[in-house]
Amino acid sequence: MTAPLEFGLDTFGDVTKDASGATLPHAQVIRNVVAEAVLADEIGIDFIGLGEHHRSDFAISSPETVLAAIAARTKRIHLGSAVTVLSSDDPIRVFQRFATLDALSNGRAEVILGRGSFTESFPLFGLDLRKYEELFEEKLDLFAALLSQKPVTWEGKLRPPLKDQLVYPPVENGTLKTWIGVGGSPQSVVRAAHYDLPLMLAIIGGDPARFAPFVDLYHRAFKEFGRPAQPIGVHSPGYVAETDAQAREELWPDYKAMRDRIGKERGWPPMGRDEFVNEAEHGSLYVGSPETVAQDRGDGQGARHFALPAEILGRPSAAREADAQHRALWTEGRADGAGDDGVTSAVVRAPGILALTVSGITELEPTRCFMP
């Protein structure tokens, strides 16, 4: 039986402009995000996720603080991160902050843990980027141990061990809802299954169908572990206006500016209008009228229902997966031409977990969909 589809919004708190074209101060952007979340709650959106960045073009560096303000002004919407960069944070402090948010919101807190597609937090907090993978793997292992809310005895390489340690405050009812955010690493998919955690796919560019093998891998990993699979969520950028033409014209200049700004940092060529249109028509950018964005695309991706009044959406935020040196590498058997364009066949090994072969394309049936 297919789980009900939930709809959520994500934002990094992109620094936007006012009606006169003047750049808004970071403080006003943060207040605007709170107002957006209040409106989302009023019209029935299921979830809002706030991303974490530490750079001038994004206002939110402490998502939990902003989410706490949202919790005080909302009643039903679930509140989470998108994502929490666990690699450059402390797992115990992350758990405490979200357990506190869960208390303030009467059980509406969720956390999406990831490695992030930007790396500015590593030098900011004095961490070695060369330990990009090791930091995430070890900190996730500790965080997963905390979810039991029992005394934790744990030992790793990067921090002192714990002995029968309880962490406060506890989550009042049940456990803290925790997702693993994945942008293109099969190891992370298997790792999510290993820890029995839901999967959040960050589909932020290109054909969404290329992520279908990760869904297949996730389901087969759970089968290997002898457990039923957890939910799968999908994040994609988008923008909604009254008509398709209006949505594209309003989005294009800001989307290009954002894309070119990030592209300059990463050595990408400037974005052309043809690329933008192709992404809107065939890729992961959902832009248009409510009717256009809400319709099924009929290409094996599964149902994606996006229907929002334009005023709920600020200018879009988007990020691509980090450069190849920051990605988890396919350890063996990588197929020719797999890479960014899709996966045909490869062996995936998540250290200390298991090895599975992922191949082919299967239907993607998300249980949660996101637009920034």
What is the per-residue pLDDT for 340? 34
- Measured over the CA atoms of residue 246, residue 250, residue 253 and residue 259, the dihedral's sign is negative
CA atoms within a 13 Å half-sphere pointing along the CA-CB vector of 191 = 26
pLDDT under 50: residue ranges of the chain: 296-353, 355, 357-365
Q: What is the CATH number of the domain that holds 230?
A: 3.20.20.30
Q: What is the pLDDT of residues 324-339, one digit of tens each?
A: 332 232 222 222 223 3
Classify residue 48: in a domain, yes or no.
Answer: yes
The span from the CA of 285 to the CA of 236, in Å, is 7
Contact 159, 139 (CB under 8 A): no
Classify residue 144: in a domain, yes or no.
Answer: yes
The span from the CA of 309 to the CA of 294, in Å, is 12
Q: What is the pLDDT of residues 267-306, one digit of tens each?
A: 999 999 999 999 999 898 999 998 888 763 333 233 223 3
> SS3 of 3, please?
coil
Q: Which domain covers residue 58, as residue numbers? A: 6-329+362-371
Contact 60, 53 (CB under 8 A): yes
Q: What is the DSSP string of 69-87?
A: HHHHH-SS-EEEES-EEGG
Classify residue 57: in a domain, yes or no.
Answer: yes
What is the per-residue pLDDT for 367? 64
- Extract the tokens encoding 147: 């979810």
The number of domains in the chain is 1
Classify residue 354: in a domain, yes or no.
Answer: no
Classify residue 355: in a domain, yes or no.
Answer: no
Classify residue 347: in a domain, yes or no.
Answer: no
What is the per-residue pLDDT for 179? 96
Classify residue 87: in a domain, yes or no.
Answer: yes
> SS3 of 372, please?
coil
Write down the pTM of the prediction. Answer: 0.82
Classify residue 101: in a domain, yes or no.
Answer: yes
The span from the CA of 102 to the CA of 341, in Å, is 39
- Measured over the CA atoms of residue 264, residue 234, residue 103 and residue 27, the dihedral's sign is positive
